Amino acid sequence: MKVILISWTNKPIETIYWAFMNMHNKIPDNLDDIKLSEKEKENFLEMLLIQPHQTVLEFVNTVWYLDGVSRAFQQQLTRTRAAAYSIQSLRIVNVEEFADKKQYVNVNYPLYHETMKVIQNNYKKLIENGCSVQDARGILPLNIYSPITMAINLRALYHMLELRFCENTQDEFKEVAKCMKKEIKRKIHPLLAKPMQPICFKIGKCPSPVPCSKYNFEKIINQDISKWIKG
């Protein structure tokens, strides 16, 4: 799996500070004129992230490259609407060696790998017999890899990750979330990675209708939800 932060807004903390201060104060014409110590940055972000008006986080944009991730994961990823996505087109790209190259999520069952080979071989036969790539893709598995480019602002990223750090999240998405946090911490600033945690840590309660067994937060939903969520 590759999770790479490709680009981001220059001087992100200063940009957030500038946008916030603009609502209440006179501001300089140049971000270089904003001089904040590390302690001031920490205090400012601490104040900002505990109050409800966080639209200024939208002024920081990030662009990501994800590879070695499945189409199944991408269906969950794109539920976050406040983002832009560019996903490899299996309508055009021929992936007739995906099983030989192990370009799919690895599930440790021999029959699973055998099935991937069968799908690959039948996919190749379809194309060899005149079927178009866009029609042959219909038999490809959900766990096949496809690279994706995503653009997302910081506010939307925080919201996405506070949901996907939940223990109930699919392992593949949790791994992507952890990698994203590391990239933000390493490439931009550790302070901007600090809010990336499960939503239960943020609000002190569990909002999930199906709580995990790892944390013992008070439940928000206490009614019987079996009539809506069935296994």
Residue 91's nearest CA partner among 73, 77, 71 is 71
Indicate the pTM of the whole model.
0.91
pLDDT in tens, 88-132: 999 999 999 999 999 999 898 999 999 999 999 999 999 999 999
Rounded to an integer, what is the distance from CA 168 to the centroid of its chain? 15
Residue with tokens 């944009």: 61
Residue with tokens 């220059």: 10
Residues of the chain above pLDDT 90, percent: 84
Distance CA 173, CA 3 (A): 11
pLDDT in tens, 3-14: 999 999 999 999
The pLDDT, as a whole number, for residue 229 is: 76
Residue 154's nearest CA partner among 16, 50, 43, 24 is 16
Fold of 2-86+146-197: Gyrase A; domain 2 (3.30.1360)
Contact 187, 5 (CB under 8 A): yes
pLDDT in tens, 212-231: 888 889 999 888 888 777 65
Choose between 27 and 182: higher pLDDT.
Answer: 182
Q: Where are the domains of the chain?
A: 2-86+146-197, 89-139, 203-231
Write out the two tokens for 19.
Answer: 């946008």
Q: Please state whether 196 falls in left (phi above 0), alpha (psi between -120 and 50) or beta.
A: beta
pLDDT in tens, 58-76: 999 999 999 999 999 999 9
Distance CA 73, CA 77 (A): 6
The pLDDT of 22-43, averaged and rounded, is 92
Write out the two tokens for 62.
Answer: 């990030």
